[in-house]
Amino acid sequence: MKWALLSVWDKTGIVELAQALTEKKYNIMSSGGTGKTLAQAGIKYTEVSSYTGFPEMMDGRVKTLHPKVHGGLLGRRHIDDAVMARHGIDRIDLLVVNLYPFEAMSKQQMDLEKLIEFIDVGGPAMIRAAAKNYKDVVVVVDPADYPMIMNMIMEGGIPAEQHLDLAKKAFARTAAYDAAISNYLYNLSSPFPTTFSVQYTNGRALRYGENPHQLAAVYGVSGLAGTEPVQGRQMSYNNYLDVNAGVALLREFEESAAVFIKHNNPCGVAIGSDIFDAYITAREVDPVSAYGSVVSVNDEVTKKLAEEICRTFVEVIVAPSFSRDALEIMKKKESMRVLVIPEESGADEIRTVDGGVLVQRTPAYKEHWEVITDRDPSAEEMKALQLAWKVCKHTKSNTIIFADHRQTLGIGAGQMSRVDSAKIAIEKACAPLKGSAVASDAFLPFPDTLEVAASAGATALVQPGGSIRDKEVIEAANRLHMAMVFTGIRYFRH
């Protein structure tokens, strides 16, 4: 007769699983709250303390840490049988455990002395023991797997290959649990731990990486990483990067807005009276670059907008929602991914470098806009400056953005020289730049960029300020009758 040991914090589905096990002639062993739950459902079980001969002690800290439990989990069939028999150790064939909710409780601003009681010891020890002996023991750590386990048991047993899959999941769970505890304790005295541990689940292989010769996968259950298209092709590595860039910029706007992204940079951004108007305006900023772009809009895609989107080649369309008619129309574009904007996850930014990672966190901050020239911006110039500045934050450095009060006019991104970025933005401008506003992601070290912008027709400029030559730049702005605003915040994007 087989033994199953059940010890869970989350009681979801445990009664149904125990009933199925009982039906298939499993002896059930349990303790504490799990045992009470089973008893209330009329399910017979053996108390762990009765089996080991030792009572639960130390307010439940010590329950399953006993050789008869761990011997039952670790004992190798046909190798350790004699030792197990000599010491009265029964084989445990199935272990079902989920852990004290340390991750959830650590978010409740709880006193450390209370929180440490939610650090599970016996649970991880049993999980690791069972997972190590996966050939002989099935270990289940996720209630979502109970239906699968029940079906397999009813159909004759759990296949050997499933043992290893469940063991992998078990080790991943204990690794994540230990990482959460480690990070929390380190963060009590420092914003970043000496040892940084992170784990993402829901891994899905992608067709390839940035290029066809590279391998790639995406991990995550929330935010964009956990999002799949509602229709269209599978997302690619580059699609995820571009969607991430586009949605981050889109979230800067409360009014109807559209963002076109190409190679991780915006190539057209506009606000409009409605989302259709914003889409058309943003596309016409740079219609050549808009071909094959990733498009994000912040209102529902209607039939009218879907028809317009389908008139050109769009890699991905991202929106809060899509009307039924819109989805039917876009089905004709089988290669176009249709994605619903998820809730923002707010996670740290992590990037790899040779031999390690860089971790970046953006705490709450406030810009301090200050007019530092003789002339204040007009109301329309201020709106244009605000739009240009929003786009500037999400464009690769060095960047210069020309805009009016409703759209970008020219975008110069990713150049080694700020002056070159300005010249590229001027060259790519979709309309005359007379009366336009300009944004620079970092301070102007010399007046040259401002002078190039002014010669193109710009009349206002926004930048962080902070250069040792700020005085020269301010004097140049006054001489050219430009309004200039300092924000005090730099937005490098590498």
Cα–Cα distance for residue pair 366/5, rounded to 1 Å:
54
What is the H or E stretch that residue 186 is in? helix 160-187
Strand partners, 295: 260, 317
- 392 Cβ neighbours under 8 A, 6+ residues apart: 399, 401, 439, 440, 441, 462, 491
* Catalytic residue, candidates 132, 303, 304, 383: 132
**Which entry of 2, 24, 263, 303 is annotated as an active-site residue?**
263
| Amino acid at residue number 439 | A
- Adjacency order of strands within the sheet including 337-340: 265-271, 257-262, 293-297, 314-319, 337-340
Q: Give the Cα separation of 401 and 176 in Å (integer).
A: 43
Angstrom distance (rounded) from CA 198 to CA 348: 10
Is 366 a residue of the active site? no
Q: Which residue type does 10 have?
A: D
**Nearest-angstrom CA–CA distance, 291 and 284:** 11
Alpha-carbon distances, residue 429 vs 253, 398, 420, 441 (angstroms): 22, 17, 14, 18
Alpha carbons 488 and 23: distance in angstroms, whole number: 69
Mutual orientation of helices 160-187 and 122-132 as an angle, nearest 10°? 150
143 in helix, strand or coil? helix
In terms of Cα–Cα distance, which of 176, 77, 50 is closest to 120? 176
Q: How many CA atoms lie within 13 A of 367 on its CB side?
A: 17
Active site residue 481: no
H or E stretch covering 358:
strand 356-360
Left if phi > 0, otherwise alpha if psi is -120 to 50, otherwise beta: which for 408?
Answer: beta
Q: What tokens does 341 get?
A: 């904007």
Closest CA relative to residue 173, chosen from 107, 119, 98: 98
**Residue 333 in 3-state DSSP?**
coil
- Residues marked active site are found at 132, 263
